[in-house]
Amino acid sequence: MSAALVLESPCLARPLPHAGDTRRRPLLVFDGACGFCTWFIGRLAQHPSTVSWGFTPFQNVSDGELEQLGMSRSACRVAVHVVDERGRVLRGALAINAVLERRRAMRVLVRIVRAIRPLLELEVRAYTFVASNRVAISRLLGTARCAMYEE
């Protein structure tokens, strides 16, 4: 795996977990070509609860490394992914929940959403809506645009 993540945001420039690391740290893989995604992950990365996490755009990871992590490039284009300490791969809303659950203030809310199926389904739909409209959301927020995916 790459030695370090290099992005404009200094909070994201953290060493990535690597295969020889005996301490398994969570890894969040996101779309680095998406302004909204990079902005949102930058906000998550600034929180003390994620200080031990690795963050990387999928564009910085080879196809072989993605495959070793249990991901594909096409899946990473449409949803954020988390590899947790146990090696489980979570994507989309469930990946975001894995990050938010680390925050004491969000832990109970995330667990309630996960326990009540209609709330979880609503969250998954909301995530899908945001992911499908991230170019427009990036534009509205004034972040860098998702140039790679614009038509």
pLDDT tens for each residue of 19-62: 445 457 899 999 988 888 888 888 888 888 877 888 999 999 99
pLDDT tens sequence across 109-128: 999 999 999 999 999 999 99
Residue 60 lies in a domain: yes
Residue 150 lies in a domain: no
C-alpha pair distances (Å), 110 with each of 41, 57, 67, 76? 18, 25, 28, 23
Question: pLDDT class for 6, splitting at 50, 70, 90?
Answer: very low
Residue 28 lies in a domain: yes
**Which residues, in sequence order, are bridge partners of residue 56?**
29
Query: What is the model's pLDDT at position 51?
Result: 76
Query: Is the pLDDT reported for residue 15 higher than 70?
Result: no
Query: What is the model's pLDDT at position 42?
Result: 85
How many domains are contained in the chain?
Answer: 1
Report d(CA 138, CA 151) in Å as an integer.
Answer: 15
Pair 79, 95: CB distance under 8 Å: yes
Query: Is the pLDDT reported for residue 13 higher than 80?
Result: no
Q: Quote the domain boundaries for residue 101.
A: 10-143
DSSP letters spanning 5-40: ---SSGGG--BPP-TT-SS---EEEE-TT-HHHHHH
Residue 29 lies in a domain: yes
Query: What is the model's pLDDT at position 120?
Result: 94
Question: pLDDT class for 105, splitting at 50, 70, 90?
Answer: confident
Question: What tokens were used for 35?
Answer: 């302004």
Amino acid letter for position 124: V
Residue 81 lies in a domain: yes
pLDDT tens sequence across 124-149: 999 999 999 888 887 887 766 555 44
- Residue 90 is given by DSSP the state E
Over range 92-109, report the average pLDDT.
Answer: 91
Residue 100 lies in a domain: yes
**Which residues, in sequence order, are bridge partners of residue 15?**
4
Residue 149 lies in a domain: no
Residue 113 lies in a domain: yes
Pair 113, 103: CB distance under 8 Å: no
